[in-house]
Structure formats: structure tokens, C-alpha cells
A and B are shown apart, each in its own frame.
Chain A
């Protein structure tokens, strides 16, 4: 439980958003309390990370949350709980109550460090046009800020996460960089498959809405340690950040090929690194403290405290209730949990937008056998993508997407290589040298693409709360309503066509198959498509210029409560086609700056009052 009676800032959530806040504020001598719902030793001992690794090795089904044990006092969704939904009967199998009609396919992690413990680490910037979706294409909403406004904060986020990329590769579709800018580290080597595809697809063009687009394979910026760029920061260079508690480990990505669910050496960024870099003299982290209510002063609108439930053990539902108080408050508990907390407290919701506009990147997977061996199951999950169709006029009519080129064969869609072993041994009766060779041959040809399809903000895609559905500590379980609209399905259809064109061009044999029995399945113009979740929860407390249609102002502060900031992907008005965390981290740096500005302004105010008194 917390130590001080009063903090300068109380932060809810110890994921990347909360960690950035804690780091930025503590280095400006603000006394910060971080309340974290999940388990975790605040001193971040390396052994406790190894325990996660061991859990992963021993997990029979290695889903993203496999290393991070389910904790009934701070439950988390699991992709194993998703299933087709038959409204009005909700799917209540896991933590979520999914009312559908479509299944929301993503998970997140509730443990100190949050979901970046198992993120992949893709760190793309949004395109400039993504900030103007409405004015350009009449879809969704515009952001209240532009790409250029965010540019300096992107740079801060890229430093914090430690991004490896080459600027030369990233200048497409209007993406631009500060003069002379380089990323902290050079790009992560592209996989052999990437290079093979680059060559084979060089002359392929595809059409969308009657317009031709190249199929250009481009290296992907990643939050994992590569070779430092000596030109970084005007020649200062960059020192990669290794494992927390074992800084000699993880200085470079070693190709463990398990970024999701866990990087064994922490070459991949996770929020522990930012927590460890906060100023320890000013930060207090308390775990096993689940925020349950935001307390507000009815007349002033100021937030007065965070009520939280502290439990001693995950094995028991026993808890004690406490209130943490501070001058200012930051909610950084993840898009779903932030919205839930606000709804449960009935705060910050003048607009009625809290919990609405929930988005994800439904991922359309396609998989095939290539005529040549390209060495899958080696290296980071994805080192390149095809971004050439991330933007364009077609967005007026259908969703854009980015193609992720995967380095792990059919692991995601079919569970290879396990499934391949089963197929050969049980299905085909193979054994001995023949089995060994055949397995090599089929795996070596496996290729898998993922199309991360855009969704639009939709007020009916939302998280709500319902007293009928509570968790063990008596906190609300998220109730999810979710529909894949035709706009997104049009994106699926276009994606599948492009996938077909690519596989044709490669002389690959397409094995993609979608079934109505899949958890996420839609039919569009007579064709069925199955999608997975990307883990990109976006939109539940969006920013805007109008307090009637948005939850936070452009400075990321609640319209309704002057001492409350919200951070996380919930602030993003649209999702576009980039994995959201880099943009969200940039926004969080911006929020930290603004919060510090508020503090400074208060000081000036207080000083003025004092001098008025003195006179």
C-alpha cells in the first residue's frame, strides 16, 4: 500500500503509458505514485522475468499471455476464450463479456509492465494523411493535431522505445522526418524471406479502386535492439538498453523468435525498461493495487482521489480498500480498463463518448507454401512489411491496411510446426528419416502474410459495464459490443485479392482457409473472411476539439476535470494502419509535457497570489 498521504501525481497503471508518465514526471522532481493492478516486484528483479520465461517454456499452448499467469484479482482476456457469438447470448467464457455480434479477438496483460511484455515491437509512425481521414476521405474523424505537431514527440518515443530503422526506407506516402534525423539504431536486418520477396515482387502491381499500386517490401521500424547509429542525436550516438537487472543481456536481438509472447533477453523493448529509468527518489510503485473508482469533488470537478483494492495474494479474493491522493491524476490502465474505470466512477463522460469507438486491427491472415526454402522460424516475428497500400484515394470506400510479412511460418494460423508434425505423423503415417525430411521441406516453404485492416470509430463498438458481471474483487468485467462494418470488410476483400495476386506471382500454393467456426468470421459479398485480433485497443476515450464529442482535449487532459489526464491508445480518434503504441507513446510524452506545464502554471499562479498577499 502507498506510503505518502499526498503525491504530486497519482498514476493508475504500470504499462508503457504509465511508465513514460512516471519517468518524465519523476525526473522533474514530482512525487509520483504508480498503482498497478497486477503482480510484479516493483524492484523488477531479473529472476522474476526468468520465471515468466519458464512459464512460457512449460505452457502447453503458447498464446501471447502464456507466460503471464492469469490472476483472478486482476483478470485479463485470453485469445483462447474467443469464440463465435450468437446474439443475444454473450460469450462469457473468459474475462470479457462479448455481446458481439462479432468477436473482439485481442488480449492484453495485467501485470507490472503491461502488454508490452508480450507485444511484437512494431513501431511505425502514422501517415500524415491518417490525421486527416475525415477531411481527405470523408471517413471517421480528423485528429485535433497534425503529424507535424507530433513529430518531436515521435522522436522522443523512438528514443524511449529504442527504435531500429533507417530513415531512407521510411520516406513513403508523405512520411517525413526532421532534417538530418536518424533512428537510434540502424534497421534490424531484414529476413531472408523479406529479401526473397523484395526481389520476386519488385515488378508486381496491384489495383485498388481502379488505381495501380506497387507491392513494395519495406523494412519495418522495430522496438528491438540493433546496431546503434553513431549519427544519432547529432553524433552523440545511442547506447542500447539491455535486460532490466541484467544490462549485459539483450544488447542486440539474438533471434530468439519469441518476441510474442516473451523476449528471453529483453532485446525487445518492454515497459520495465522505462520504469527502471524513472527517478527512484520520486517514484513509488505499488503492485496488486486495483484502482476501482475515481473520486471527484462534485462542485469543483477536481479529482480528489483514487480508490483502490489491495490484495495480498492472487490465491485469495481478500482485499483491503484504500484511497491514494494527489494534486493530479493520470489514468494509464489500458484503453479498456481506463474506460471501465471512468464509467464505474461516472467521471469524464460529459460527451457520453467514454467506452465508445473501440477499434482494433482485425488481422486477415493468409498462408501458402512457396516453391523455395526461405528459412522461417528464425528471427523477430516480422522484419518487413508492404506499406504501399496504407494510404490512397480508395480510403473513401474501404479500409486501408498494412501487410506484415511474418518470419514464423504458419505458426499463428495453424500452430506450426506442431500442427505440421501432427499432420505428418498422425495424418500421413510418416516416421524416421522420411518424416524428418518431409517436415523440413514443408516448413521451409511456409509463408504467412497478415493484413492489419483499419476500422473506423463507431459509437456502437464499445465497452460498457454491467453490475451482473463482476470479477472476484468486485470490479466490473468489460462488456464488449463489436461489429465489423462493411467498410472494414471491403478492406478484407481487397486484402484477399492482393494476397491472391501475390501468391500467384510467387508460384505459391495458397493454403488459406476461413471457416464460420472461427471465432472472428464475417461474410461480405458472398465471401467468408476470418480475422484475428491484433491487440490494438484504440479509441475508448478519444481526444478532440469539442467537449461534446470527445473525452480529452488536444493536450490529453479531461475536458471535465482539470487535474485529470488520460493516456493510452484510448485517446486516439482513429486507428489508421500503424500499430498504435509508438503514436500513443508520443502522445504520452506530449501529455507529460502538458501536465508539467500545468504544474508550472499553478506555481506561477501560487507565486502571484503570494506576492499579492505580501503587498
Chain B
């Protein structure tokens, strides 16, 4: 269980890092290493060169504005999770990050790394798609922005080119009238989930549901978002939530593996969809109530 030999560079500037990547077709970026080092140790990956970005502290910034949260490539999961402003502007971030591995892994692993690693069992890719976020990437040829919808191509495969570094991920703010929720089922605390669901539900000023979407991890080969507005537009109750669970399955194709059969995963989709949509609805109601009674009311959670 030791990695194969590789060359190693630890650049002191982003342009140096980009040049190093451009100069070697079989190079990989080393961020937190919490996914890459196990792959190297198991010899599932054997790059010729690792470009370590841990010497670029500028990439560690977390920037919060009214539009949303910008997370730099070196911001660790733990830093994003602890960021009060980020939690206020987009509460789904902290809700989901809480389920990413355990604290020790979150101390080193990066949120951007977990997005571009593109694991369908990971929490952050599906959160980024559900929120309509994006990733900013840079190479020696320049910068481009990749929308979350165009980012995930296959299991562990993103649309980044080999010479690109993801410098930042953007998570849009929670829109007015919206609520969010997250839940997952894992065999053990900190394990990758057997099934996880993130939901965003939006109410109009009269309290009617105008948008309800849910993102699913560990169900399909790719993180997948399903629109469930039709199922709950008439009201949120046990019957409509059960219908939403069935509607979710029409947009998914649960797979069986050694951890769970396809039928069990489908059952988790039904149960978690209902549970998380209800929680997102309650969250939307609570935020709307707090917003209408003025700014002195507790809004963070």
C-alpha cells in the first residue's frame, strides 16, 4: 500500500503551478489528498508528476457576498463548515458539509477538491448542481467558468482539462422565499452515504410552492437533480410527499452494489425524498416568517 514513484513540485505561485501542469500530460493536482492519496497508495492512480497547491495560500479564501459564497481551492471543508457568513447566505452548504466524512478528514480535504473529484457518492457535487453553482478553472491558456450542469461527465470524471486548476467554486445565495434541507443514510457515521438527498423548495408570497427540486447522491452514476414541483405544487402533506418520492424515482435509476440492493436504494429514495422535502418546506416557512417580522428575528440555524 505505497504509492508508485512520482515527481513532485510545490509551486509558490499559481502561474508556476499552471506551467508545471501544462508541461506534463500525466500530472495531477494535489490539494487535500484525502481522495488522491488513497488512490495512489492503492495504485489505482500513478501520475508522473504531482503539483502540490498547498503552497498557494491565496487560494484558501472564502468570500461571501449577497449573491453567494465563493470557496477557494484550498479552503478546507472544516473552514467552510465553520464560516458563519457562508452559512447565513447559503445554509445548505453547512447542512451538507456536516455529512462529508468526519472532522479529521474535513480538516485537510478541500471543498473544491471534492467537487472536481466528481464522486457521485460525495455531497458537494450534488449541492453545487442543485443550487445552480459553477466552478472557475484556469490554465496557461486563461480562465473559464464551468456551470455545475456541465461539470460531471461520469464516475470520477469531470470536464476539467488535465492542465486546468479549479481555483474557486461559486454557490449562489438562497433566494427569497426558499428553504433547504439535507439528509442521508450511511452504514456508519462519516461513511459515504448509501443514499443522500438535498432539497430546495421555494414559496411565493402567498405560501404556495412554486419550485421544489431535489438532488440525489449515491443513487445514479452521476449526481442527479430531479424537479418535483408538480408533485407538491398543490400543498405539502403526507400524500403529496409520498407522490414526490415516486416522482423522484422516475428520474433516477438506483443501482445495486455490495452496500445496498437496488430495491433498498429505491426505498431510501422514497423515504428520504419525503423527509427532506418536508424539512425544506418547514425551513422555507420559518425563513419567510422571520423575514416578514423584520431583521431582529433569528434567521440563522
Partners in one complex: no
A residues with a Cβ closer than 8 A to B are: none
